[in-house]
């Protein structure tokens, strides 16, 4: 068994997903086994094209990409174009990929890879949980085949980013989120806005990436995909929700987490609300993050410099 952490990354590639992909590719302790895509920030056609473009730009065209769910389990798709733009990556101009996707769909690829490497793979989900919920329905033995699962989703003690209490990934497909949170995984760690809102990329760091964009593909990627939010002169930083999930998959000591149970509301104004019962359940729920240590790891992995905004515990 390799000493590197073997990861499947499940994405709806928008701005911070692109940064998470870059972190996974450039972090030497991670073996990026495959990437699965789904509808979330934008439709699955665009999230898949964005994923392929990011990986190819970074020289990771050997990483297979498997297109997954095109809509939530029971609902029409609601996107997050209000932040990520209709492209998913704002005004970024990335060279399009010329390769195709893998032969099996996202949920099937997750099952196949976990079956081939039982106990080795960490699944990191940074979009809606539709692909994982489908995979669990097809292969209920999947939790025992995965080493661990890290989810970026929910808002437990902090307000939401879609409604006053709902985080986007859970709001987009609450039925899928409920199915995942109700499944007794041996190791399921959930990072809500409570911790991801403490990790931020600063305007100064983005500006330094812009200055080096013609020298390094990672700097080019950061300069391009973060351009849209920083076009707002009042914005001093953007959140690193999805890169944090990848980092925690590598080193879960970056967060303090307590065991609990998570329920999800489905309807009306409560749609997407995540409620936690501490001490009862099988989900590890992050409540604090060592933001400075994460940011140091992120910056080093991507060879970025300059000012980083963040909060320590």
Q: Give Cβ neighbours of residue 19 (< 8 Å, ≥ 6 apart).
A: 201, 221, 222, 225, 226, 240, 242, 243, 302
The answer to the question of residue 307 being in a domain is: no
The predicted pLDDT at position 306 comes to 52
Q: Are 198 and 191 in contact (CB under 8 A)?
A: no
pLDDT > 70 fraction of the chain, expressed in percent and rounded: 96
Residue 253 has pLDDT above 70, yes or no: yes
The predicted pLDDT at position 41 comes to 95
The predicted pLDDT at position 2 comes to 61
Look at strands 65-67 and 30-37 and give their pairing. parallel
The answer to the question of residue 238 being in a domain is: yes
The answer to the question of residue 233 being in a domain is: yes
The answer to the question of residue 23 being in a domain is: yes
The predicted pLDDT at position 179 comes to 98
The predicted pLDDT at position 86 comes to 84
Catalytic residue among 66, 77, 197, 241: 241
Residue 308 has pLDDT above 50, yes or no: no
54-63 pLDDT, tens digit per residue, is 999 999 999 9
18-59 pLDDT, tens digit per residue, is 999 999 999 999 999 999 999 999 999 999 999 999 999 999
**Averaged pLDDT, 147-165:** 96
Split into its structural domains, the chain has a count of: 1
**Averaged pLDDT, 141-158:** 97
81-137 pLDDT, tens digit per residue, is 878 888 889 899 999 999 999 999 999 999 999 999 999 999 999 999 999 999 999
The answer to the question of residue 312 being in a domain is: no
278-287 pLDDT, tens digit per residue, is 888 899 999 9
Measure CA 275 to chain center: 21
Tokens of 53: 């473009």
The predicted pLDDT at position 313 comes to 37
Q: What are the start-end ranges of the E strands in the chain?
A: 5-11, 30-37, 65-67, 121-125, 148-152, 188-191, 200-202, 237-239, 255-264, 274-278, 283-289
The predicted pLDDT at position 307 comes to 43
164-221 pLDDT, tens digit per residue, is 999 999 999 999 999 999 999 999 999 999 999 999 999 999 999 999 999 999 999 9
Whole-structure pTM value: 0.95
**Averaged pLDDT, 139-158:** 97
CATH number for 188: 3.90.245.10
| Domain, as residue range, for 280 | 5-302
The predicted pLDDT at position 83 comes to 83
DSSP string covering 187-256: SEEEE-HHHHTTBEEEHHHHHHHHHTTTT-HHHHHHHHHTHHHHTSTT--EEE-HHHHHHHHHH-GGGEE
**Averaged pLDDT, 154-164:** 95
The answer to the question of residue 66 being in a domain is: yes
The answer to the question of residue 282 being in a domain is: yes
Judge whether 77 counts as a catalytic residue. Answer: no
Residue 305 has pLDDT above 90, yes or no: no
The answer to the question of residue 214 being in a domain is: yes
The predicted pLDDT at position 80 comes to 86
């Amino acid at each position: 068994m390799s000493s590197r952490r073997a990861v499947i990354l499940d994405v709806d590639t928008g701005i911070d997903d692109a940064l998470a992909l870059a972190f996974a590719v450039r972090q030497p302790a991670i073996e990026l086994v495959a990437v699965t895509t789904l509808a979330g920030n934008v439709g699955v056609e665009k999230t898949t094209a964005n994923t392929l473009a990011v990986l190819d730009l970074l020289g990771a065209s050997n990483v297979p990409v498997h297109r997954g769910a095109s809509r939530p389990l029971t609902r029409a798709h609601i996107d997050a174009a209000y932040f990520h733009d209709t492209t998913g990556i704002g005004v970024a101009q990335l060279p399009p990929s010329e390769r195709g996707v893998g032969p099996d769909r996202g949920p099937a690829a997750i099952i196949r890879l976990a079956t081939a490497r039982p106990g080795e793979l960490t699944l990191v989900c940074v979009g809606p949980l539709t692909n994982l919920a489908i995979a669990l329905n097809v292969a209920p033995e999947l939790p025992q085949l995965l080493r661990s699962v890290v989810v970026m989703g929910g808002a437990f003690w902090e307000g939401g980013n879609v409604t006053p209490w709902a985080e986007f990934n859970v709001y987009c497909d609450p039925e899928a989120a409920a199915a995942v949170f109700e499944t007794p995984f041996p190791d399921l760690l959930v990072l809500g806005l409570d911790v991801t809102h403490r990790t931020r990329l600063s305007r100064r760091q983005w500006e330094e990436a812009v200055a080096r964009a013609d020298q390094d593909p990672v700097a080019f990627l950061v300069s391009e995909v973060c351009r849209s939010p920083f076009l707002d002169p009042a914005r001093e930083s953007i959140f690193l929700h999805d890169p944090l999930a990848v980092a925690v998959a590598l080193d879960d000591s970056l967060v303090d987490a307590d065991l609990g149970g998570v329920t999800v509301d489905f309807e009306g104004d409560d749609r997407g609300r995540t409620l936690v019962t501490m001490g009862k359940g099988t989900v590890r729920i992050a409540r604090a993050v060592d933001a400075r240590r994460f940011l140091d790891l992120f910056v080093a992995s991507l060879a970025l410099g300059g000012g980083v905004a963040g909060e320590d515990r």
